[in-house]
Chain A
């Protein structure tokens, strides 16, 4: 069973970079696609992006609405992947979830428990 656990700061200042890491157990980093999803308080889910291996090279895709603010990376030696979101504002305050694709398919099969990241000075 795939298990995911987010970790990161409890608070981020406006204009700074939000950084989160997701620790993975129960799966190989090369066999799935790894996603980031967020949910502002009281609102719906927003897809941020995914990272994974395609033809032995790492590929990333991110939500066009977030522009170039999103950077993702993957560390197979530590079984974890990471998200950096630059130039944050209060609108980036949300519960951030890491997730993985379903077995042998696409989309989201497994979820982390989520971590609330407030953006405030």
Chain B
């Protein structure tokens, strides 16, 4: 059974840059997996940041960017702010119309 992998936790200093990754337990992530990235704060619905690898959702600041880095999808946050402290989830298309979320990364800004 394929698993989508994410770092469980990460920390970044205010103003710093952080890159979160999203991989597959077997195989490499490519644009054909249509990586999506979401931000979620406690008690709120998730918010879409990135879809189709690197397309920013409407209203998402330019300091959020998506890419493929090596064999993983990546979400880079530049100039981290206090309100970026959230859980971040990726979503990958595994083929045949089946999708899977990663376990999420809890980002701390301190």
Task: Spell out A's residues near B (CB within 8 Å).
Answer: 35, 37, 44-47, 50, 59, 61, 63-64, 97, 102, 105-114
Please, which residue of chain A has its CB at the minimum distance from the CB of B89? Answer: A45
Are A107 and B45 in contact, CB atoms less than 8 angstroms apart? no
- Known contacts A102-B36, A102-B51, A107-B93, then 16 further A-B pairs from the complex at CB < 8 Å, ordered by chain A residue: A45-B40, A50-B99, A61-B96, A64-B98, A97-B45, A97-B46, A102-B48, A102-B52, A106-B51, A106-B52, A107-B34, A107-B52, A108-B46, A108-B48, A109-B51, A109-B57
Are B55 and A102 in contact, CB atoms less than 8 angstroms apart? yes
Are A112 and B51 in contact, CB atoms less than 8 angstroms apart? no
- Offer 23 A-B interface pairs, CB within 8 angstroms, sorted by A: A44-B101, A44-B104, A45-B89, A45-B104, A47-B100, A50-B99, A63-B98, A64-B98, A97-B45, A102-B36, A102-B51, A105-B51, A105-B52, A106-B52, A108-B38, A108-B48, A108-B51, A108-B91, A109-B48, A109-B51, A111-B45, A111-B47, A112-B45
Q: Give chain B residues whose Cβ lies under 8 Å from the Cβ of A45.
A: 38, 40, 46, 89, 91, 101, 104
Q: Give chain B residues whose Cβ lies under 8 Å from the Cβ of A105.
A: 34, 51-52, 55
Are A47 and B46 in contact, CB atoms less than 8 angstroms apart? no
- Our pick among A46, A50, A108 for the contact of B36 (Cβ within 8 Å) is A108
B14 near A: Cβ within 8 Å? no
Q: Give chain A residues whose Cβ lies under 8 Å from the Cβ of B89.
A: 44-45
Q: Give chain A residues whose Cβ lies under 8 Å from the Cβ of B34.
A: 105-107
Task: Spell out B's residues near A (CB within 8 Å).
Answer: 34, 36, 38, 40, 45-48, 51-52, 55, 57, 87, 89, 91, 93, 96-104
Q: Give chain A residues whose Cβ lies under 8 Å from the Cβ of B97.
A: 50, 59, 61
Distance (whole angstroms) from the CB of A2 to the closest CB of chain B: 10
Complex CA gap A109/B100 in Å reads 15
Distance (whole angstroms) from the CB of A57 to the closest CB of chain B: 14
Q: Give chain A residues whose Cβ lies under 8 Å from the Cβ of B47.
A: 111
Distance (whole angstroms) from the CB of B86 to the closest CB of chain A: 13
Are A107 and B57 in contact, CB atoms less than 8 angstroms apart? no
Distance (whole angstroms) from the CB of A117 to the closest CB of chain B: 15
